[in-house]
């Protein structure tokens, strides 16, 4: 509820209370008046009774006429008129319930005689037999009335006595008073109200200005002052506000400058930290790698040393075995020498025996050849015998029957000769076999002799070799002993080496683990730096979002002021007819609203650039048209394309992907991150700008670390 409304409400309540009090007083007065009227009626009716009793003491109805003693009341208007004369008002005498004497007039001016009593008064008098006091309507006019029953000697109600005063007559003064009172009250209320409204408005104007100023402060526009028009509390407040904004603005700028310096320092520190961490990391990695290599090398060396020790042990064992074997070989060699000597003598005997066998065999061969000659002779004899027998048979056949016996003999001869031939054949083959065998034997004995000779030589050589072997074995034995001794030394040396290597390895392992710890510590450090960077980026974004929203509100307000001040129409503000500005490259455009923007938003936009992290802060319309750029980017045109491209970026159409996204965004906020070709990271944060609820464009703010 606004303050002015509150004031109005309060005013209304106090005025209502005053009016109510007045009305209450009036009511009380009126009630008192009514009581007074009732009391007055009492007096009047008593007077009426006195007047009536002055006529007589007995009341009766005789012959249709109300009689007071002898005084006839019917048609006699003396008493009512007297009452009227004395007190004013009306008075009536009823006979039964019918008016017989009255000063009440009908509408036509005649006396209202003959009319009847009705209503509550009738009920009270005739039904209950008692008096009635109160308001009664008579002939449609309200009266304050008093009715008393008129009773005869028997106590029967025979009529009614009445007095009354017109209500209007009674209250005329009161009504006049109340009207005057109300008029005065109304005048008072009007004057008071007007005065109050004026005063409140006057006071609240400053307050409203303060409100809008505070709102613009809330929107980020800190540099606002409010005109002080009064010395009252609000004036003091405005003055204090002015002081506050100037102090805060100054403080804020200092703070921003400080923050900027701090941010720059932190940034630099992070970079240094990052660089150093990376360097250390590299060194540590090298160290680690070196240590690992060293460990590997040591491991290898150790393995080698162990292998060496094992080998040396094996060599020692082998040497011992060699020694044993050499001793055995020595013994065997001695035995061999004896055996060889025996073999030599045995072979000599064998040789002479073989020579004897060869002699005998030659003899045998010659003899068997002689036998062969004899057998040939026998063979020839047998052959000729056979032929003879054949011819004898032929002869016998030629002799016919006489030759038959001869033929038998011849046949027998032939068979014998054949047998002989077979036998000689067998002898021949036997002789051949003998000769083959003897020849083979001779050959064998010759070979045997040769073999024995060769064997003799070989055995002699064996004997020599054995001698040499024996000598070598003895040398081997001595060498084995030496080897055994030296390998024992080697074993102990390599064991010492192994233990030394183990120490080296332990040291290397420690170095490696140290390097790893270093690496881990550096990684943590780097992580911290990253986190710090992230935090800064978050902070940057948070700040950026707030700034973008504030900027959008500010721009919205400034553009809206253009409408309210009448500088631009809504159609002007939403102009989409981008007219190219001739002679500009890159192309610039003008619209119906960009001049207004140049005049009114440049300073406000530039304020955002007090923060060094802000690269730009600009208003763009929904098509990416940038009517007014920051002063930094609105350098005078030089005609040099490259220089103007960077130095004068105002009134250009930024309808690239990022620009369009920012221009068309109708979400509360749009955060876009991209890298400039300089390697700088830009957080492009934009918030939409609305004019009378219509999307006009957006406010883009670019942040960089």
Partner 1 sequence: MAIEENRSYDTRAILQEMREAYWEGIEQSAESGAVETRDYVVFRLGSERFGIPTGFAREVLRLPRLVKVPRLPAHICGIVNLRGQIQAVTDLRPLLGLPTTALSARSQLIVVEAAAITTALVTEGVEGIRSIPVAEIEPITEGLAGFPRDAAEGHVVTEQGLLVLLSLEHILGRTEFTINQKGE
Asked if residues 689 and 556 have their Cβ atoms less than 8 Å apart, the reply is yes
Structure tokens at 360: 């005998």
Residue 382 Cβ, how far from partner 1 at the closest point, in Å? Answer: 14
Mention every residue, 6+ apart, whose C-beta is less than 8 A from residue 618. 605, 626, 628, 629, 630, 699, 700, 701
Which residues within the stretch 381-400 sit at the binding site for partner 1 (CB under 8 A)? 387, 390-391, 393-394, 397-398
Q: Does 408 bind partner 1 (CB under 8 A)?
A: yes
Residue 377 Cβ, how far from partner 1 at the closest point, in Å? Answer: 17
Three-state DSSP at 565 gives coil
The helix (H) or strand (E) run that includes residue 646 is helix 641-647
Residue 359 Cβ, how far from partner 1 at the closest point, in Å? Answer: 22
Residue 402 Cβ, how far from partner 1 at the closest point, in Å? Answer: 15
Cβ closer to partner 1: 327 or 383? 383
CA–centroid distance for 449 within its chain: 110
Residue 415 Cβ, how far from partner 1 at the closest point, in Å? Answer: 7
Cβ closer to partner 1: 286 or 384? 384
Measured over the CA atoms of residue 360, residue 361, residue 366 and residue 370, the dihedral's sign is positive
Structure tokens at 524: 């943590």
Residue 342 Cβ, how far from partner 1 at the closest point, in Å? Answer: 33
Cβ closer to partner 1: 430 or 532? 430
Asked if residues 91 and 163 have their Cβ atoms less than 8 Å apart, the reply is yes
Please, where are the H alpha helices in 140-232? Answer: 167-218
Cβ closer to partner 1: 430 or 691? 430
Instruction: Give Dmax over CA atoms of the chain in angstroms.
Output: 256
Residue 414 Cβ, how far from partner 1 at the closest point, in Å? Answer: 6
| Strand order across the beta sheet in which 90-95 lies | 98-102, 90-95, 157-166, 141-151, 132-138
Other C-beta atoms lying within 10 Å of the C-beta of residue 458: 15
Cβ closer to partner 1: 197 or 416? 416
Cβ closer to partner 1: 36 or 429? 429
Cβ closer to partner 1: 297 or 388? 388
Structure tokens at 472: 């070598």
The residue written with tokens 């009766």 in the block is 60
Structure tokens at 216: 């613009």
Binding mask 409-448 for partner 1 (x = CB under 8 A): --xx-xx---x--xx--x---x--x---------------
Give the integer Cα–Cα distance in Å for 276 and 268.
12
In Å, how far are 166, 171, 318 from 34, measured between CA atoms? Answer: 12, 9, 154
Mention every residue, 6+ apart, whose C-beta is less than 8 A from residue 396. 403, 404, 406, 407, 410
Cβ closer to partner 1: 264 or 409? 409
Q: Does 371 bind partner 1 (CB under 8 A)?
A: no
DSSP 477-507: HHHHHHHHHHHHHHHHHHHHHHHHHHHHHHH
Binding mask 139-178 for partner 1 (x = CB under 8 A): ----------------------------------------
Residue 391 Cβ, how far from partner 1 at the closest point, in Å? Answer: 5
Residue 409 Cβ, how far from partner 1 at the closest point, in Å? Answer: 10
Residue 383 Cβ, how far from partner 1 at the closest point, in Å? Answer: 8
Cβ closer to partner 1: 178 or 386? 386
Residue 456 Cβ, how far from partner 1 at the closest point, in Å? Answer: 32
Cβ closer to partner 1: 422 or 524? 422
In Å, how far are 116, 357, 429, 453, 626 from 444, measured between CA atoms? Answer: 204, 10, 22, 14, 130
> How many residues contact partner 1, by CB under 8 A?
18
Cβ closer to partner 1: 116 or 405? 405
My answer on whether omega of the bond before 212 falls inside 30° of 0, hence cis, is no
Cβ closer to partner 1: 414 or 545? 414
Binding mask 3-22 for partner 1 (x = CB under 8 A): --------------------
Structure tokens at 53: 């009793």
Give the integer Cα–Cα distance in Å for 96 and 111.
18
Asked if residues 224 and 217 have their Cβ atoms less than 8 Å apart, the reply is yes
Cβ closer to partner 1: 82 or 421? 421
Residue 428 Cβ, how far from partner 1 at the closest point, in Å? Answer: 12
Mention every residue, 6+ apart, whose C-beta is less than 8 A from residue 569. 563
Cβ closer to partner 1: 155 or 398? 398
Near partner 1 by CB under 8 A, which window of 24-32, 190-198, 405-413, 614-622?
405-413
Cβ closer to partner 1: 433 or 603? 433
Residue 394 Cβ, how far from partner 1 at the closest point, in Å? Answer: 5
Please enumerate, as own/partner, the contacts of 287-296 that have beta carbons within 8 Å and a separation of 24 or more: 287/511, 287/515, 287/518, 288/512, 288/515, 288/516, 288/519, 291/508, 291/509, 291/511, 291/512, 291/515, 292/512, 294/508, 294/511, 294/512, 295/505, 295/508, 295/509, 295/512
Binding mask 549-588 for partner 1 (x = CB under 8 A): ----------------------------------------
Residue 437 Cβ, how far from partner 1 at the closest point, in Å? Answer: 9
In Å, how far are 251, 286, 291, 486 from 301, measured between CA atoms? Answer: 71, 22, 15, 22
Residue 379 Cβ, how far from partner 1 at the closest point, in Å? Answer: 12
Interface ranges with partner 1 (CB under 8 A) = 387, 390-391, 393-394, 397-398, 408, 411-412, 414-415, 419, 422-423, 426, 430, 433
């Amino acid at each position: 509820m606004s303050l002015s409304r509150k004031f109005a409400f309060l005013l209304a309540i106090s005025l209502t209370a005053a009016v109510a009090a007045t009305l209450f007083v009036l009511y009380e007065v009126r009630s008192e008046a009514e009581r007074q009227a009732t009391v007055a009626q009492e007096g009047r009716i008593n007077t009426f009774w006195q007047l009536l009793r002055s006529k007589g003491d007995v009341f009766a109805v005789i012959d249709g006429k109300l009689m007071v003693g002898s005084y006839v009341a019917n048609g006699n208007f003396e008493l009512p008129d007297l009452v009227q004369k004395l007190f004013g008002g009306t008075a009536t005498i009823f006979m039964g319930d019918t008016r017989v004497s009255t000063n009440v007039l009908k509408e036509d001016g005649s006396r209202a005689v003959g009319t009847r009593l009705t209503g509550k008064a009738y009920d009270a008098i005739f039904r209950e037999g008692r008096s009635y006091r109160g308001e009664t309507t008579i002939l449609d006019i309200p009266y304050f009335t008093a009715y008393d029953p008129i009773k005869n000697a028997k106590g029967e109600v025979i009529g009614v006595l009445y007095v009354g005063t017109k209500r209007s007559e009674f209250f005329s003064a009161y009504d006049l008073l109340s009207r005057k009172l109300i008029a005065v009250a109304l005048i008072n209320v009007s004057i008071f109200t007007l005065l109050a409204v004026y005063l409140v408005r006057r006071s609240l104007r400053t307050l409203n200005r303060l409100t809008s100023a505070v709102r613009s402060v809330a929107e980020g526009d800190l540099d606002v002052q409010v005109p002080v028009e009064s010395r009252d509390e609000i004036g003091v407040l405005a003055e204090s506000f002015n002081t506050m904004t100037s102090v805060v603005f100054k403080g804020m700028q200092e703070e921003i400058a400080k923050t900027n310096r701090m941010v720059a320092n932190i940034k630099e520190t992070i970079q240094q930290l990052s660089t150093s961490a990376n360097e250390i990391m590299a060194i540590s990695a090298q160290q680690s790698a070196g240590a690992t290599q060293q460990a590997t090398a040591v491991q290898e060396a150790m393995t080698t040393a162990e292998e060496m020790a094992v080998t040396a042990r094996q060599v020692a064992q082998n040497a011992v075995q060699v020694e044993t074997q050499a001793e055995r070989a020595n013994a065997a060699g001695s035995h061999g020498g004896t055996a060889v000597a025996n073999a030599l003598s045995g072979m000599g005997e064998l040789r002479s025996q073989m020579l004897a066998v060869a002699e005998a065999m030659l003899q045998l061969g010659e003899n068997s050849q002689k036998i062969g000659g004899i057998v040939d002779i026998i063979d020839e004899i047998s052959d000729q015998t056979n032929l003879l027998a054949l011819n004898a048979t032929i002869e016998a056949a030629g002799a016919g029957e006489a030759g038959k016996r001869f033929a038998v003999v011849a046949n027998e001869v032939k068979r014998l000769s054949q047998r002989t031939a077979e036998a000689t054949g067998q002898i021949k083959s036997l002789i051949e076999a003998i000769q083959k065998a003897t020849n083979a034997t001779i050959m064998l004995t010759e070979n045997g002799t040769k073999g024995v000779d060769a064997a003799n030589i070989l055995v002699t050589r064996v004997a020599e070799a054995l001698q040499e072997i024996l000598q070598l074995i003895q040398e081997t034995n001595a060498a084995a002993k030496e080897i055994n001794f030296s390998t024992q030394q080697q074993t102990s040396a390599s064991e010492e080496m192994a233990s030394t290597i183990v120490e080296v390895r332990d040291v290397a392992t420690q170095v490696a683990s140290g390097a790893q710890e270093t690496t881990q510590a550096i990684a943590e450090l780097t992580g911290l730096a990253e986190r710090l960077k992230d935090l800064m980026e978050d902070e940057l974004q948070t700040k950026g979002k707030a700034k973008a929203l504030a900027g959008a509100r500010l721009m919205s307000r400034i553009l809206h002021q253009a409408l309210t001040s009448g500088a631009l129409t809504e159609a002007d503000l939403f102009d989409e007819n981008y007219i190219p500005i001739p002679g500009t490259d890159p192309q610039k455009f003008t619209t119906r609203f960009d001049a207004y923007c140049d005049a009114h938003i440049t300073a406000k936009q530039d304020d955002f650039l007090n923060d060094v992290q802000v690269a730009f802060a600009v208003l763009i319309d929904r098509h990416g048209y940038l009517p007014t750029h920051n002063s930094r980017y609105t350098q005078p045109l030089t005609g040099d394309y490259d220089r103007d491209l960077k130095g004068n970026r105002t009134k250009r159409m930024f309808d690239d992907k990022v620009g369009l996204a920012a221009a068309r965004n109708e979400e509360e906020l749009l955060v876009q991150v991209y890298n400039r070709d300089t390697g700088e990271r830009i957080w492009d944060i934009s918030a939409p700008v609305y004019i009378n609820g219509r999307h006009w464009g957006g406010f883009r703010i670019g942040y960089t670390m």
